[in-house]
Structures are given as C-alpha cells and as structure tokens.
Homo-oligomer: A and B are copies of this chain.
Amino acid sequence: MTLSKNRIKYIHSLELKKNRKKEKVFLAEGHKLVGELLNEMPCRLLAATAEWLSTNRNRFSVTEIYEVTEEELTRASLQKTPQQVLAVFEQREEEMDSSVINQSLCLALDDVQDPGNLGTIIRLADWFGIEHIFCSPNTVDVYSPKVVQASMGAIARVHVHYTSLPELISSLKEIPVYGTFLDGGNMYSQPLSKNGLIVMGNEGNGISKEVEKLVNRKLYIPNYPSERPTSESLNVAIATAIVCAEFRRQVSLP
C-alpha cells in the first residue's frame, strides 16, 4: 500500500497534543524505538522501507502497513533524518493508584517543560526500576514526539500519570516526600527509603512554593569542591539521575 497525502497529514497532525488526545495515539520513529515498542504496545499504523519490512515482517501484526521509499518516509517523518520506519501506537490508559507510593519509590515532576528532559527521566526511571511518575498537569505531554524519542522505549514500561501534585501529596500519610533544594541536607548523609516520592521541579523555577511546603525531606546534591562559590545548577534530568542512583545504591548496600 502506498502512503496517501491524507495519511501523511494524519501522521503530521500527531505533533499536536489535541490531535493525539482525540485519536488516543502517538508517533514513534526509528528502528530501535519502533522495534522495541512493537513488542509491548498495540500498533495502529506502520510505514517502513522495503528493506526494513523484509527483515522485520514476522515480528508483528499491524493492520495498516505501508511500504515506502526513503523519500516518502522523509515526507511523513517529523525527524530531520528519518530511519527506515515510523509507527503510530495506541496510548495506554493509565489507572492512578497512589498506594504504589507506599510500596515503592516513585517520581513526581512539577512542571517539567522540556520534552527531552521528560523522555530522559522516563528512560532513567526504567533503569532504576521506578515504575510510576506523577506529573503536574502543566508538565509536558508524555506522548509528545520528542518525549517519545528521548525515552527510547522506556515509555512502554514506565507509567506516567497526570494529576495535581498538592492533592496527591496531601492524600499520602506518613510517606517520605523528597525534593532537592540548595538549602537541603547533604544527600549522602541522609537515610534514603525504599518507598516514597521524589519531587523534581521546573527547569527555570524549581519546585513550586505550594509543593515545597509538602516536601518533608529536603536533599542537596553536593557540588565539588564544596567550598567553591558556585553560580552553577544542574539540569533537572541530571539531578534526577544522581538522586535516583543514590537511593538505589543505599538500598543495595550489603
């Protein structure tokens, strides 16, 4: 089947959140990412080069498959340099259950705006066995193409929920709620728990005042050397990674 102008228009329309929401789908591109998602999520449409299809045809069942030339793929793609295949997957319906925070370590993101940051955080959450991320309503959409690409397939395994963080945290009882602050306690001198919530803030403004009030364990990632006057800060995905690694290191100590 060849890819009609209409289908290309449909694919491009998925760059916008309102269209993704209406159709309950999202776009993923490239051999590695699409290959991984095909094992884990229902696929609605797939467009690929003859070469890709010949080696991958047996790996999946999709109703709407298009064999395309490199040129057609470039027209359909949102990427500068499309790679062999793109596909439209169904969004997952997430059921929110805050009791997972009692039992396991979870992340909360307070208005993270950059899609690369969210995708990278989903990917590192997967590495560290963090299965749930709670996002404030103004956090960037998890199904934005740039988030999907940066997540590298982890989007199929990590559950991302959108909800009011103040309401979520207020509903929790006696659960540790961590956040990183310049006036927090040295992260390496604190006992870190196996469960609870780690809140990370917006790229420019950090954690909002309303959420900050509900954080009951303030952490600081030590810079080095510590006496140096610093104007520096860390990117939010970088800070998330360093904090998650330390939680898992402490829990894994013999």
Interface residues of A (CB under 8 A from B): 36, 116, 120, 123-124, 126-129, 150, 152-154, 188, 221-226, 228, 230-235, 237-238, 241-242, 245-246, 248-249, 251-252
Contacts and interface: CB of A to CB of B under 8 A. Distances in A.
Contact of A245 (B116, B230, B231, B245): B245
- Count identical subunits in the complex: 2
A127 to B, nearest CB: 5
A128 B230 CA distance: 11
A118 to B, nearest CB: 12
Contacts of A248: 222, 224
Contact of A228 (B129, B221, B223): B129
A232 B127 contact: yes
B128 A224 contact: yes
A91 to B, nearest CB: 21
A222 B248 CA distance: 9
A127 B223 contact: yes
Nearest to A204: B32
A246 B231 CA distance: 22
Nearest to A120: B235
A245 B235 CA distance: 14
Contacts of A232: 123, 126-127, 152-154
22 contacts: A116-B116, A120-B237, A123-B235, A123-B238, A124-B235, A126-B232, A127-B234, A128-B224, A129-B223, A129-B225, A150-B235, A152-B232, A154-B232, A188-B252, A222-B249, A224-B248, A224-B251, A234-B241, A235-B237, A237-B237, A238-B238, A242-B242
